[in-house]
Structure 1
């Protein structure tokens, strides 16, 4: 898919990419596909992709070097012509960018044969060609001959320094490959002009009285960021064809979707100079954004939660790179790689099981703790606060999971900012604690749907078990659950115990796979009292509430968990437990007859 990036490259405002397809015949042990098709067929393929191929083929170094230099000159001239005609003459025809196809033998200039077996020009050159130089004199002789073939005495003086004629070829200052600021993007990075959140925040007089689509609210903020960077053009939104689906379409008021190919009358928001980049290839989106960040710009990757897994190995390498470069004082910080994961596991009402997988969080939290961050904002204002933070941050991989469907507004902007700064905190208005007395049970939650179910459970307990002291804890920053020795955002044991108590039952409703919470908190004193409900890989196309029922995350199951785990309640609250179980059974009958959720669920509001 990346060959089609030329349909998105704007010759007026963007830079250029010169692909060099180096075909040496083999991979580790097998032929390379493109090396084994006829050159005419490969040429047709690349032209079909929209490129103008330049072929360099040979095995004589001097001849190939000269041919390669000529090809580079030709390619750079073509790129300059494409850019000049687009920028100065207003040419809008889609450019055919050059590509160089370089064919040389695998293991070129290395040993032609070792131990009577051909090496140069074969797959064996991918291995260690001379594996016994310490014990085999013939291998050692071949190694010396090979290395001396580069005539090092002509390149270096007796002290090992490059000779003058070598240094004469090296450019000065920033023109050196290792010194160009485009390879050290932090040197070029400017702060992102994120506008004040007050312009976009939802008014929340009381928790749970109004509902908004969090990502739609975020889209208005991103529109303003696009507008504020219209001259600088250093912020982009990438994604696999899901910007509008993820409710971020407000950005189209500030910029369109990058597109250089044919347009039709029915198309919307396509723009030769657009800064929203959509292609149905998560790999390509990841590559685009990584390159954009590494060269000193900003961006966000918006994706359906289930399909971001496609880039697992790519984000691994970026995290490793960030962890390593943090230790290099000359390497300047770059803008963070920000993922917005929405259309998430709990609201796949139309797509079903194939679109349900919250495991990217688990994958990322396995990585370097100084680099990775995971946020689960429960409503629109907390999403704004988290977005403001991650867009301004440096050298992190930030994963933000937020819903696009209407959800309750729980916190005002000021309360959201304070809550997000804490990362985890008690929602006193939702619980029934009194004074300094310890709670009987802690209801914890992380994620928008789990938060609603925990609050609904708290409301049921308030009504049916008013004598029970309930504490409600919401977690935005998932790393807060880790010990502070294991993650910079982790809590100390005293802080954790103060929040969750060291000995009271904790019923935790979590957005993803429940065992992750156990893994994060396993060293805590109260881990034996921790009971987590989450996604158990039970999915289908069904009603929103049926999804949580199928995975035992629903409010009625959570109330039953409280009754089962608070000492002394199992007998005293048996009628309440039976009522909860009966309601779950009634739910199953209702959705089969009506195709919708129970009225008391569909019309539920928080009136605590």
Structure 2
């Protein structure tokens, strides 16, 4: 940006007559195209009287927000041209698709990616027909629409995405339209605080445009019904300088919007200038625009005696036109479309007239062509240090470690150091709690509010983004990824559910963009879950829920990956793999507390590459078929399984036991269902076709049954996992409460191997007594028995 030093130089002069006429014509063209998308499948230029056969049988979409967004898009085009701005457009209001499609069609980007939607009569007909039509495009700003990096089908995330997009993009402006209905969602209401984290020197700018049109689907919106002064004070309190554009008269509104954008851009330039010339100044007040315009602006005023424009009735299809509707409705639709005077806008071939088309920016300055909205175009490979250099020395299985996540923190520290402009760590105030504090050896948390003397790791420039809102952190990261960068989201396992729906939408975005040839792959959404269900000694039941992985595997198999590494070296291997991957959602579940370590680095690399395998050092069936398969997935299940195996080996030395560990959870699926899945032959080779399988699992047991339901030996698979039992208790007692402890696992084996006879019966009774002893001991001493705490694996 070119910097200015004097904000009083703002050009508040009214638009010239010629410029005003062009802006209004461009806006009318966008509105005309938007109405056409809602209704027409033929006769796009209304060259003959409108007939029912020219209309779609099903008229689907949303009109209410569209004319206001067309108005905004038109004026943003003008300001981009005037100042040569690098700007992208985010459509926050639900189902604003007609506006974004119209805007990108008029500027030419839509036709460039869809040559069949050419800028002529035939192309306009295709544009109209494909909207909300089978085989066409969605009614919101979906991935099929150029210039979109934000789905918009679910409300609440636009502003977080916008701020994530401008991090480390100092010349980028994200113009983010926030619907007043959307503004009532929790994620959006929180996202206003993102301005406390933006560094005006190294980051770009977000220009929020709150679109007040008064109504949601059938209710008024809160922000539209509070007094003007209260609304103004609210956003001043949030740290913004609100600029109001209010009314319904197009001529007045054009002048007001042009002046507001002039002022906003000059504010942004001043903020940038001050950051360079006066570093260390107090946090700036960022400009925002509040556009108060009628819902369904320029549409039907009254239909069948009911007010439409300016009411909730304009939210979706404001005028029903079909064979069964009154004849007057068809005439009203024709009059509505002709009110935009299409003959003044398009030539006889259906092309936008040249003098009007001049409003649109050129080349990559067009918002639909901004490379940041197709982030894979800008993606640079991460520089990853050799993860094997961070290995924990495992000279024998079972040696105590310092915490798996703690070890990986040193690797992430150096990833952050090596990628100072395209990698960030996000989390809701849990980076230290989650034992990733090594990252702070090389960077700070980015923070642009006040800093007190006793604060730690806070600075205007940092690579860690923390706010106590899972929504906000996820949204920032998604915006960062969608614009071509890399990152990691770390979170307590139980509370990642807060972003279940956000994950849904991002996974859907990834799935859809895989199928669009002109979209480029972006970096994977990497989620590290720790502070897990099995280690919540002081937090208790509220912090115990491993169900996010159940939710994740519902998504398309080409998108999701779930890893449960059993120790530090395995987590390092998995983390390096995930950070280097593209276009997945990778979920990693790992412990942060000191725990036994099982694999050397070389062994971990081989095991993680396979994703599942027999641990021969823990097994004794090398020369014959096993009597029992002991399977495990997750760090605590692995510990309890190996402790159970040691008990079995001690009491039944002739019992043939195979230990199978699972790192890549989706290896359990059939190969036909997931690309990582095992084929039936390999699955049967591991788990046999007829032997009992005792499976200790990190999460809810039914997930394993679901993944293996169609396998040959499924009826013999018995799963132990979390079954919604928890309290403030010892770590081992958590496994006992859920019957996934070593003693219950051994008893399961005895129950499924009747040939163990009396020896098995007596051992089972002894283990039941041991469980009673355990409960008495922890109630008396507040910690686990020494034989549990001090247990170590012995071959």
Structure 1: distance between partners of 2:336 and 2:692: 70
CA apart distance, 1:65? 2.5
Structure 2: distance between partners of 1:510 and 1:570: 28
- Alignment partner, residue 118 of structure 2: none
CA apart distance, 1:72? 1.5
CA apart distance, 1:440? 0.7
1:251 corresponds to 2:439: yes
For 2:367, which of 159, 173, 177 is the aligned residue?
A: 177
- Alignment partner, residue 469 of structure 1: 656
Structure 1: distance between partners of 2:362 and 2:291: 28
- Alignment partner, residue 291 of structure 2: 102
Structure 1: distance between partners of 2:273 and 2:497: 40
Q: Under a length normalisation based on structure 2, what TM-score does the superposition of the two structures give? A: 0.75
Contact 2:484/2:523 (<8 A) preserved: yes
Secondary structure (helix, strand or coil) at the match of 2:725 reads coil
CA apart distance, 1:570? 5.3
CA apart distance, 1:276? 0.5
Larger displacement relative to structure 2 (119-128 or 392-401): 119-128
CA apart distance, 1:572? 4.8
Larger displacement relative to structure 2 (180-189 or 371-380): 180-189
Contact 2:444/2:461 (<8 A) preserved: yes
1:319 corresponds to 2:507: yes
Q: CA RMSD in A?
A: 1.2
For 1:495, which of 670, 676, 682 is the aligned residue?
A: 682
Structure 2: distance between partners of 1:237 and 1:153: 54
Secondary structure (helix, strand or coil) at the match of 1:445 reads strand
Structure 1: distance between partners of 2:340 and 2:672: 51
Could you give the per-residue CA deviations for residues 499-549 of structure 1, whole angstroms, max 9, x where no partner exists? 111111111000011101101110111110011000001111000000000
CA apart distance, 1:567? 4.4
Contact 2:400/2:594 (<8 A) preserved: no
Structure 2: distance between partners of 1:151 and 1:308: 52
Structure 2: distance between partners of 1:587 and 1:91: 59
- Alignment partner, residue 306 of structure 1: 494
- Alignment partner, residue 556 of structure 2: 368
1:20 corresponds to 2:209: yes
- Alignment partner, residue 559 of structure 1: 746
- Alignment partner, residue 379 of structure 2: 189
Structure 1: distance between partners of 2:605 and 2:528: 19
CA apart distance, 1:481? 0.6
Larger displacement relative to structure 2 (391-400 or 116-125): 116-125
1:597 corresponds to 2:787: no
Secondary structure (helix, strand or coil) at the match of 1:21 reads strand
Structure 1: distance between partners of 2:293 and 2:719: 58
Which residues in structure 2 correspond to 1:206-217 (within 5 Å)? Answer: 206-217=396-407
Q: Under a length normalisation based on structure 1, what TM-score does the superposition of the two structures give? A: 0.98
Could you give the per-residue CA deviations for residues 216-269 of structure 1, whole angstroms, max 9, x where no partner exists? 111101110111123xx1111111100100000111111101111111111011
Structure 2: distance between partners of 1:88 and 1:503: 75
Structure 2: distance between partners of 1:313 and 1:373: 17
Secondary structure (helix, strand or coil) at the match of 1:184 reads helix
- Alignment partner, residue 239 of structure 2: 50
Contact 1:212/1:409 (<8 A) preserved: no
For 1:62, which of 227, 246, 251 is the aligned residue?
A: 251
Structure 2: distance between partners of 1:414 and 1:157: 69
Structure 1: distance between partners of 2:280 and 2:440: 24
Structure 2: distance between partners of 1:134 and 1:393: 53
Contact 1:134/1:140 (<8 A) preserved: no
Structure 2: distance between partners of 1:466 and 1:567: 16
Structure 1: distance between partners of 2:330 and 2:708: 55
CA apart distance, 1:165? 2.2
- Alignment partner, residue 328 of structure 1: 516
1:523 corresponds to 2:707: no
1:287 corresponds to 2:465: no
Secondary structure (helix, strand or coil) at the match of 2:724 reads coil
Secondary structure (helix, strand or coil) at the match of 1:384 reads helix
Structure 1: distance between partners of 2:383 and 2:685: 38
Contact 2:619/2:659 (<8 A) preserved: yes
Structure 2: distance between partners of 1:457 and 1:535: 17
CA apart distance, 1:420? 0.8
Larger displacement relative to structure 2 (239-248 or 138-147): 138-147
Contact 1:133/1:143 (<8 A) preserved: no
1:486 corresponds to 2:676: no
Contact 2:616/2:622 (<8 A) preserved: no
- Alignment partner, residue 118 of structure 1: 307
Secondary structure (helix, strand or coil) at the match of 1:95 reads coil
Structure 1: distance between partners of 2:344 and 2:685: 71
CA apart distance, 1:156? 2.2
Q: Which runs of 5+ in 1 are unaligned?
A: none
- Alignment partner, residue 537 of structure 2: 349
Q: Identify if the C-alpha distance between structure 1 residues 581 and 172 changes in structure 2 by more than 3 Å, giving closer, same or farther.
A: same
Structure 2: distance between partners of 1:509 and 1:394: 31
CA apart distance, 1:184? 1.1
Larger displacement relative to structure 2 (259-268 or 65-74): 65-74
- Alignment partner, residue 535 of structure 1: 722
Structure 1: distance between partners of 2:224 and 2:454: 41
Q: Which runs of 5+ in 2 are unaligned?
A: 1-189
- Alignment partner, residue 385 of structure 1: 573
- Alignment partner, residue 615 of structure 2: 427
Structure 1: distance between partners of 2:405 and 2:281: 34
For 1:508, which of 677, 695, 700 is the aligned residue?
A: 695
Which residues in structure 2 correspond to 1:77-226 (within 5 Å)? Answer: 77-136=266-325, 137-226=327-416
1:545 corresponds to 2:545: no
1:235 corresponds to 2:423: yes
Contact 2:630/2:695 (<8 A) preserved: yes
- Alignment partner, residue 755 of structure 2: 568
Q: Identify if the C-alpha distance between structure 1 residues 148 and 568 changes in structure 2 by more than 3 Å, giving closer, same or farther.
A: farther
Structure 2: distance between partners of 1:432 and 1:212: 29
CA apart distance, 1:154? 2.3
Secondary structure (helix, strand or coil) at the match of 1:218 reads helix
For 2:605, which of 417, 432, 435 is the aligned residue?
A: 417
CA apart distance, 1:117? 1.1
